[in-house]
Structure 1
């Protein structure tokens, strides 16, 4: 099969013929329908978040089940599924305490580029290739069955792919990590794929003020179509001052940082009211640090926290997001800025780097 392989940081992905080993116990073989082009993959390409190399990236996808490994239940060949890039074992401390998005096994898989058993199913001859859990920049993959959630036939496969990362991450930060309630005030910093989903989730949740900050006028205009009540061009206006202006000087109830930058993380902390919550969704480069005044913590009771994968419980949250889309409350079609073939994947990442995409999509059908 064809796959896009990362062999060196800051190098183009290499489209190659690779081999796929059969699924083992608890695994399935899938054929991809669509895959999102995500900033998280770009940070790995650039080396800001190191990976095991060589690796087949891609973690936001929809697919068809082609083959079941031993001991797989609840899925059948031909099922249409959304993939989760974070495996949850169901047995570790975090899974048992209600945080499957922090699963010890799943996190180890991401760090080492393997399946749950520590091995891989990707080869090129005798060469071992690593996984990005889903590894959707390929025609097919073998993934843990626990990473697949069945979706109904009426759900379009192209937009379904986006649920696997951008939508779960952005909406989950609002619904799970906050949670935002009717009448709350919100700042969203960064209006890419994740940020736009935070915006529309805040609208669904009933926020009265939804302020969006970005440096790209086109993205700010798009944010308004997704539910932003106010926007700030951060090149010329201070989002912290605007947040306070809109809230009688207090600051917003919740601020969501969807970029992964120490400066904008600090902006979110400064923009929240006393006892408010700043939630970091974006993945900053390894080693990047954000400094805040320590005295502000006890005297303001502000909370600075993170949201990994939107605190997702994929089996439950995917089904809820599909229902929201089918009831026309969640906008997904409008997120797709451009579609590409697999052999255009480097062009897709160039467009993402240049700020041209809310979400790019690789189509396999």
Structure 2
């Protein structure tokens, strides 16, 4: 696809019709005072600008652009990005399968170093994340104040979906990204992590111990975060459960490890590539099924003595695998959907079986940053979750497009991570 050509560099404003929500004046730019602040801000003793990878429109390559240094506001932290994961969610946006405001900086799975705090940030946040701290960021960035966050359901954060996912901004309705060449605003997919610096709400951060590497730990913020939310909150998995994971890429392979950590009795990995299935065995799968060679539902039932699994996870976002997932669970079992699909994709389900046999179909987007991300860090720190075996490729900032191209063609086993150090 054309947009996967090597990263090019341009400082020109190319997008003719930016989203109106950020254009607050007839000039088509951010308010004058905000542009002056953005241009004048820099890290103490450091640069006043940075580079970021910009998505302009579907089927067009990312370009590396120069930005004014992003300025954090109250409750936000400026991070010097060290690593950013290459995720299918970004790919869906880049292919035009999921609507998102453009132009935007993609990337939402980051680690980095704290370099500044927003003015008027609470002292407790500053003490928790002092300058120089190593941190990991979750892609669902909870506001901490909405009705869902107050109830502990941060994965449903009202502000995150209303502002970031709907408009590409943070929770004051503004982006933190402005092009250096002309001050034009650029949107943020989560924190816009595929950049040398990024602004992250403090609620989405956890301290990363020095014992954990920046590169491999980046996947904690999405791949592992998504898997943990699916197994812990949606599936409510218990020790002794049987589990099937359909699609064992970056997120699916993390589900295997989480299932193993939670004490699953049987873990069945399903994919179409033998290389991924071989890797799945190393990550905890007790059985594997190649969906090109065997009937997925029949094989899962054969492995489980005709019953089906207690929990099936669909990690691809395809109508066929949705149906396989629902048919693979036992009576009373849970089918958990975590794979994003193109807009308006529909899945079929046997309604009568759903009703009579109490099949539970549950959607799960991610985990809960403040309560879950520190637990994920501990799982990695103790070795219960193996980061090294999950990350299969490391690449440079300028190689991001080729990584997304390989992801699009199923050539990445596990997870690729872009290093920005």
Whether TM-score is above 0.5 comes out as yes
Q: Deviations over 1:4-38 (max 9, x none)?
A: 10111111101111223422222221100100000
1:110 paired residue among 165, 177, 202 = 165
Q: CA deviation at 1:328?
A: 1.6
- Whether the 8 Å CA contact 1:62–1:161 is kept in 2: the answer is yes
1:54 paired residue among 98, 103, 106 = 103
1:91 alignment counterpart: 145
Asked if residue 20 in structure 1 is aligned to residue 20 in structure 2, the reply is no
Asked if residue 243 in structure 1 is aligned to residue 300 in structure 2, the reply is yes
Would you identify which runs of 4 or more consecutive aligned residues in structure 1 move more than 6 Å?
A: none
1:162 alignment counterpart: 219
Q: Distance in 2 between matches of 1:206 and 1:87?
A: 29
Q: Distance in 2 between matches of 1:98 and 1:23?
A: 25
Instruction: Report the aligned-residue RMSD.
Output: 1.2
Q: Deviations over 1:148-179 (max 9, x none)?
A: 21222222111221100001111331122212
Q: Distance in 1 between matches of 2:166 and 2:271?
A: 31
Asked if residue 363 in structure 1 is aligned to residue 419 in structure 2, the reply is yes
Report the TM-score when normalising by structure 1. Answer: 0.97
- Whether the 8 Å CA contact 2:82–2:214 is kept in 1: the answer is yes
- Whether the 8 Å CA contact 1:114–1:130 is kept in 2: the answer is yes
1:7 paired residue among 51, 56, 59 = 56
Residue segments in structure 1 that go unaligned for 5+ positions in a row: none
Helix, strand or coil for the counterpart of 1:308?
coil
- Whether the 8 Å CA contact 2:70–2:78 is kept in 1: the answer is no
Q: Distance in 1 between matches of 2:213 and 2:340?
A: 29
- Whether the 8 Å CA contact 1:35–1:61 is kept in 2: the answer is yes
Asked if residue 335 in structure 1 is aligned to residue 390 in structure 2, the reply is yes
If you compute each CA radius of gyration, which structure gives the higher value, 1 or 2?
2
Q: CA deviation at 1:67?
A: 0.8
Q: Distance in 1 between matches of 2:257 and 2:111?
A: 22
Q: Distance in 2 between matches of 1:32 and 1:89?
A: 21
Q: Distance in 1 between matches of 2:160 and 2:210?
A: 29
- Whether the 8 Å CA contact 1:87–1:105 is kept in 2: the answer is no
Q: How does 1:1-365 map to 2 (within 5 A)?
A: 1-72=50-121, 73=125, 74-108=128-162, 109-124=164-179, 125-309=182-366, 312-357=367-412, 358-365=414-421
- How many residue pairs match? The answer is 363
- Whether the 8 Å CA contact 1:48–1:285 is kept in 2: the answer is yes
- Whether the 8 Å CA contact 1:20–1:142 is kept in 2: the answer is no
- Whether the 8 Å CA contact 2:70–2:198 is kept in 1: the answer is no
The more displaced of 271-280 and 79-88 is: 79-88
Q: Distance in 2 between matches of 1:140 and 1:31?
A: 5
Residue segments in structure 2 that go unaligned for 5+ positions in a row: 1-49
Q: Distance in 1 between matches of 2:143 and 2:104?
A: 23
Q: Distance in 2 between matches of 1:185 and 1:55?
A: 41
Helix, strand or coil for the counterpart of 1:266?
helix
Helix, strand or coil for the counterpart of 1:16?
strand
Q: Distance in 2 between matches of 1:154 and 1:4?
A: 29
Q: Distance in 2 between matches of 1:232 and 1:161?
A: 29
The more displaced of 258-267 and 312-321 is: 312-321
Q: CA deviation at 1:356?
A: 1.9
Q: Distance in 2 between matches of 1:280 and 1:249?
A: 22
Q: CA deviation at 1:187?
A: 0.8
The more displaced of 68-77 and 106-115 is: 68-77
Q: CA deviation at 1:316?
A: 2.7
Q: CA deviation at 1:134?
A: 1.4
Helix, strand or coil for the counterpart of 1:18?
strand
Q: CA deviation at 1:42?
A: 0.3
